[in-house]
Structure 1
């Protein structure tokens, strides 16, 4: 398993080793020892699984505020997504900056999105399934979002289409307006 920190401190690209033969393939999608060797001590407690039927579906920019913030380990198990992490720690030198990567069922890459970052993805194909681990349960009281097309963030979404959004995501505040209690000290 190759674990590489991205240009956003704390966000990691995970590339599992895939072993294939005439029967198919095998991989370890998560191994605690590999994460610990990379200095990542995360106690995942829940796995989530989502399905999006239509290409151009956008979910996010989502996060949970403290004290129920979540670290997520995201992978696409069917289809393809453009996965994004945005640094929303107000005292970070990377505040408002984003990192995006294509996660597909073929490349089997994963993105580790730590606490203090908002997360979103856009589906690049029809019938997409995304699975992700979290280290904190869902908390409706701490559920927050940021507008997907906030010009101050300037995410370069790969599809030039009007995305399919939930009402919650359509009406999310900008980063400047968002309820955010994160700092670098939290990570």
Structure 2
């Protein structure tokens, strides 16, 4: 597999080597050592989650406070999504910027997002299935939500219909409003220190 860092530091695209034949295809979706070598510390999986979404569903932008943090390896295993990584780390050289990646069942590509990087996506197909491998168990009250339609972030969702969203995502604060909530968004320097502590896991 090929692991490439995105324009946002500590966010990576994982491209597998696929092996098609008359039965279908096979690929290795994840190798712990290869990903850990690329990111610089062990990626330890504590939780796996799965979502299904109808076309034009927008999920996110979501992050997790640090501590506890919750890094993610995201794969679309059915249908297709347009995945969005947003740097929510205050003080990061790429704070507030985003990167788009199409994830679909055909390519098998995945995204690794370190703690402090926000995540969202729009379902491009009906019944899109997304799998998450997560470094920490979800702790109620630690989720960060940012408005996916925040004009200052400027994500081009390219919807072909009305967005389907949860009430909590539809009423999420803008990035500027989230910054004004003391201690909500992680600081870049704290994230870097957190990544160092993960080397001892």
- Specify if TM > 0.5: yes
Q: Is the 8 A contact 2:10 2:39 kept in 1?
A: no
Structure 1 match to 2:185: 180
Deviations 1:31-87 (A, max 9, x none): 0121133244211211111111x2100110011111121111001000000001100
Give the drift of 1:24.
1.7
Which runs of structure 2 are paired with 1:10-159 in the superposition (5 Å)? 10-41=10-41, 42-52=43-53, 54-159=54-159
Q: CA separation in 1, counterparts of 2:84 and 2:166? A: 17
Q: Is the 8 A contact 1:56 1:163 kept in 2?
A: yes
Q: CA separation in 1, counterparts of 2:39 and 2:148? A: 31
Aligned-pair Cα RMSD in Å = 1.2
- Structure 1 residues 106 and 143 mapped into 2: Cα distance closer, same or farther (>3 Å)? same
Query: TM-score normalised to the size of structure 2?
Result: 0.88
Q: CA separation in 2, counterparts of 1:139 and 1:34? A: 28
- Structure 1 residues 39 and 90 mapped into 2: Cα distance closer, same or farther (>3 Å)? closer
Give the drift of 1:21.
1.2
Q: CA separation in 2, counterparts of 1:183 and 1:145? A: 18
Gaps of 5+ in 2: 179-183, 193-201
Secondary structure of the residue aligned to 2:35 is helix
Give the drift of 1:17.
1.0
Q: Which runs of 4+ in 1 moved over 6 A?
A: none
Deviations 1:131-159 (A, max 9, x none): 01000111112112000101111111132
Query: TM-score normalised to the size of structure 1?
Result: 0.95
Q: CA separation in 1, counterparts of 2:24 and 2:186? A: 45
Higher share in helix: 2
Structure 1 match to 2:196: none
